[in-house]
């Protein structure tokens, strides 16, 4: 229903955009003598850059130009845009307790994404108390020396109640009011050491004319609280590399030259006191910093404060990192799919496991646990044997903890609770606890436990429908360090480091902070893990897609993200860089069709249609297409294939409010197993891959066979052989010698191949008649005829 509403707004917006004129935000902000907007009650069309990301709740959207800012209060608008979007917005001018708003918004359009947001205006606290000229805009206040409650008591943390709490911030004796929203990840955190700076939105709340009081600044998230005041400035988090059991390299850049210092200690749990035990220093004044940490403990999470100092001050960044696992961690990957896979595209000795009974495999892992089981799950029902295995584990002394969504307690979950297993539920709000992971023996610190530490991840909830009717994937990884990171994330939602949950300390959604390591060396393979919403998972997926050289293949339940779709579009260059995907038909039928229609080239707005269309299809299963994965370059081993999988749908809610997790695995064998699943999902949905190896035996000669069937409509298959690795090019031409399509342009290993050709994938309409297909491979060249009959 939400997507249908969005479409209605979009189509209405096209009409409004056609017959309305964009006016400056400054014009909307003109006030009469009573402090009320002159244009109140009028419909306006304005343009600006969005500066919020649902931190204050979906209905509240701040957007601005350099000279002026405005607020919109509309859930559809809030769900449809993100920070850095350049937008045109149409709505009714209203006045809410001094704040000028558009409510409702009846039309909007995203003109561009990832636009640089306007630089915050630097103001003093006095100016913050008289903030009309900055209302709706980003501001910055430096040199904050004290924070007090509205009752005048010095505050040590940003505690909040209800929707949020007001404080007073001081720079010396100068002060203004700040409001901390409970929905932000600032709520509940410690106020940093003084002095610090704050970037914030200028807002207002007053009920009395002439509405010239009640101004308050509103920071959006923890990144708006800037601990350093001056200094070289570290714009982004340090990146780890050269990860071993006892060492690591941290690298970062600064805007200005400064020295390099890292202070660090082993971080055994969330909320541990900050007591640095070691440090490394380099006095050289540089902008490109790289420093090696040695003599570390294996299989540990470390908390580090990275800093750089010059004559103007010190800049700092907090960094969590992990060393490689202790000896005994095998780094073994196990991938399972509950539907059949296509092993004809398997690499040698790398056939994927399809048609697997997840229940059997999960119970085996539960029964093998000796010390602890941590389960974070959205839905748990129907599969009685899994429930029984968990209870039996508890009875034999395994410490079982469960994180669960805010949904009504399902019967089997209630049976776990009745049996004495402790369950922490997510508080009720508009988001969900959507994780689907287990950590087995992750909390056992003994050396003998190292080979028993397993992570269970992937897309599947623990229900009969999810295990047997819906297309799913599960991945198990045996690695101590990765299990540590997932345990850390679990305990942030659990609220404690022990067996008893603490609901007061439990944090979900935007209350969570980025406090886990993200990059791991697992038996020589790079693995990244990210949690939503604290880690900007969407941004990590976009960065991953930037590494595409040959192809992007995906299966997804819910895909509404314009950011991910647009990144895929920029990488798509038919036929050298392909984008293929399988969408859930049920989501499409319920109105979630915009990204699919655009990729397919059939949306009502030609501006956003892909041309030529991508190879995207709707699934044909009775259940859901519930897989949530992206494979990059699995059909080009020289391009370092990788795969992303987890609980994450490509939606705004998944990125900004839900509790989610993803893994990005840089491994050609794992990527190839997911590719085997993808090819089967794609062909079952009516699609084809561009080329398939059908025989590993090395042919004696090169050959191009006659296509079959011939005549054909709409598809046919071309087979060929090459006796050594070659760049193979196969093109289709019409009777006049004009190129119709390039079917293949890739270096292939020696072998026998088949190549499908479907006229619906050419991007142009083909008429009945005679066509030619030509193959070139090294010095070999051959041309044959084919006949299309409609």
Active site (catalytic) residues? 434, 436, 441
- 8 A C-beta contact, residue 90 and residue 17: yes
Question: Which residue's structure tokens are 């010190």?
Answer: 314
Residue 253 to residue 264: CA distance in whole angstroms: 19
With 0-12 / 13-18 / 19 or more C-beta atoms within 10 angstroms meaning exposed / middle / buried, residue 683 is middle
Say what angle helices 384-395 and 358-368 make with each other, to 10 degrees: 0
Both tokens assigned to 249: 């390299």
Both tokens assigned to 556: 């997804």
DSSP characters over 678-706: HHHHHHHTT---S-EEEE-SPPSS-EEPP
Q: Helix, strand or coil for residue 449?
A: helix
Residue 626 to residue 227: CA distance in whole angstroms: 42
Q: Report the candidate in 311, 293, 312 with the shortest Cα–Cα distance to residue 303.
A: 293
Residue 248 to residue 232: CA distance in whole angstroms: 23
- 8 A C-beta contact, residue 517 and residue 526: no
Residue 675 to residue 631: CA distance in whole angstroms: 7
Q: How far is CA 491 from the centre of its chain?
A: 21
Residue 268 to residue 225: CA distance in whole angstroms: 25
Distances (CA, A) of 412 to 385, 409, 458, 460: 10, 8, 21, 17
- 8 A C-beta contact, residue 262 and residue 280: yes
Partners of residue 771 on adjacent β-strands: 786
Q: Report the candidate in 438, 475, 434 with the shortest Cα–Cα distance to residue 458.
A: 475
Q: Report the candidate in 673, 674, 676, 581 with the shortest Cα–Cα distance to residue 619.
A: 581
Enclosing H/E stretch for 433 = none
- 8 A C-beta contact, residue 507 and residue 492: yes
Partners of residue 105 on adjacent β-strands: 91
Q: Please, which residues have CB within 8 angstroms of residue 510's CB and are 6 or more apart in sequence?
A: 55, 183, 184, 185, 221, 533, 656, 657
- 8 A C-beta contact, residue 627 and residue 677: yes
Q: Give every strand in the sheet of 726-733, ordered side by side.
A: 739-748, 726-733, 769-777, 780-788
């Amino acid at each position: 229903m939400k997507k249908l509403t969005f479409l209605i707004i979009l189509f209405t917006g096209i009409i409004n955009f056609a017959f309305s004129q964009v006016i400056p935000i400054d014009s909307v902000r003109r006030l009469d003598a009573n402090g009320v907007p002159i244009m109140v009650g009028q419909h306006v069309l304005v343009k600006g850059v969005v500066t919020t990301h649902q931190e204050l709740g979906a209905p509240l959207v701040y957007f601005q130009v350099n000279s002026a800012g405005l607020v919109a209060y509309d859930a559809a608008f809030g769900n449809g845009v993100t920070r850095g979007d350049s937008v045109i917005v149409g709505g009714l001018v209203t006045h809410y307790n001094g704040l000028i708003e558009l409510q409702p918004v009846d039309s909007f359009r995203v003109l561009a994404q990832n636009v640089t947001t306007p630089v915050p205006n630097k103001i003093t606290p006095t100016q913050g108390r008289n903030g009309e000229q900055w209302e709706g805009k980003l501001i910055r206040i430096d040199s904050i020396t004290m924070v007090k409650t509205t009752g005048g008591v010095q505050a040590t943390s940003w505690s909040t109640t209800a929707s949020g709490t007001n404080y007073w911030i001081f720079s010396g004796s100068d002060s203004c009011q700040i409001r901390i929203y409970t929905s932000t990840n600032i709520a509940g955190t410690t106020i940093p050491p003084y002095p610090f700076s704050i970037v914030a939105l200028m807002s207002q709340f007053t009920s009395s004319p002439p509405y010239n009081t009640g101004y308050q600044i509103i920071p959006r998230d923890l990144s708006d609280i800037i601990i350093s005041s001056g200094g070289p400035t570290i714009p982004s988090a340090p990146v780890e590399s050269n990860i071993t059991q006892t060492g690591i390299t941290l690298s970062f850049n600064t805007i200005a030259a400064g020295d390099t210092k890292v202070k660090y200690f082993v971080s055994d749990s969330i909320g541990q006191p900050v007591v640095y035990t070691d440090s490394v220093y380099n006095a050289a004044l540089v902008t490109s910093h790289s420093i090696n940490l040695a003599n570390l403990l294996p299989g540990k999470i470390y908390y580090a404060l990275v800093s750089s100092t010059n004559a103007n001050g010190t800049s700092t960044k907090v960094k969590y990192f992990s060393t490689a696992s202790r000896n005994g961690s095998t780094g073994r990957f196990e991938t399972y799919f509950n539907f059949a896979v296509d092993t004809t595209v398997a690499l040698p000795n790398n056939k994927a496991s399809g048609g697997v009974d997840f229940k059997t495999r999960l119970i085996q892992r539960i029964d093998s646990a000796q010390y602890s089981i941590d389960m974070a799950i959205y839905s748990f029902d129907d599969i009685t044997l899994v429930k029984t295995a968990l209870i039996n584990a508890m009875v034999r002394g395994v410490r079982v903890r469960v994180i669960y969504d805010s949904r009504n307690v399902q019967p089997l979950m209630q049976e776990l609770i009745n049996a004495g297993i402790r369950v922490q539920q997510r508080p009720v709000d508009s988001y969900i606890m959507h994780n689907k992971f287990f950590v087995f023996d992750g909390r056992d610190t003994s050396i003998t436990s190292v080979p028993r530490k397993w992570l269970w991840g992937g897309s599947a909830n623990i229900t009969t429908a999810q295990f047997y009717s819906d297309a799913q994937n599960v991945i198990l990884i045996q690695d101590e360090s990765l299990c540590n990171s997932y345990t850390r994330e679990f305990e942030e939602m659990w609220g404690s480091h022990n067996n008893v949950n603490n609901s007061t300390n439990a944090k979900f959604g935007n209350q969570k902070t980025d406090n886990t390591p993200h990059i791991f060396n697992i038996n020589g393979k790079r693995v990244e893990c990210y949690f939503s919403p604290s880690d900007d998972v969407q941004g990590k997926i976009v960065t991953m897609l930037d590494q595409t050289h040959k192809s992007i293949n995906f299966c997804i339940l819910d895909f509404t993200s314009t950011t991910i779709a647009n990144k895929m579009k920029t990488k798509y260059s038919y036929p050298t860089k392909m984008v293929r995907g399988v969408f859930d038909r049920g989501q499409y039928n319920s109105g979630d069709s915009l990204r699919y229609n655009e990729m397919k080239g059939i949306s009502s707005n030609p501006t956003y249609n892909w041309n030529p269309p991508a190879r995207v299809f709707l699934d044909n299963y009775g259940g859901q297409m519930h897989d949530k994965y992206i494979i990059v370059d699995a059909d080009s081993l020289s391009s370092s294939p990788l795969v992303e999988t987890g609980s994450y749908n490509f939606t705004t809610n998944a990125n900004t409010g839900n509790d989610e997790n993803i893994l990005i695995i840089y491994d050609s064998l794992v990527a190839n197993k997911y590719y085997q699943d993808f090819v089967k999902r794609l062909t079952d949905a009516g699609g084809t891959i561009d080329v398939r190896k059908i025989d590993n035996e090395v042919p004696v000669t090169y050959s191009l066979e006659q296509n079959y069937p011939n005549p054909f409509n709409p598809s046919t298959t071309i087979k060929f052989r090459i006796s050594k690795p070659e760049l193979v090019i196969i093109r289709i031409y019409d009777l006049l010698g004009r190129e119709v399509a390039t079917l293949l342009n890739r270096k292939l290993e020696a072998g026998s191949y088949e190549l499908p050709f479907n006229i619906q994938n050419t991007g142009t309409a083909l008429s009945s008649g005679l066509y030619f297909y030509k193959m070139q491979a090294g010095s070999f060249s051959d041309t044959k005829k084919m006949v299309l009959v409609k």
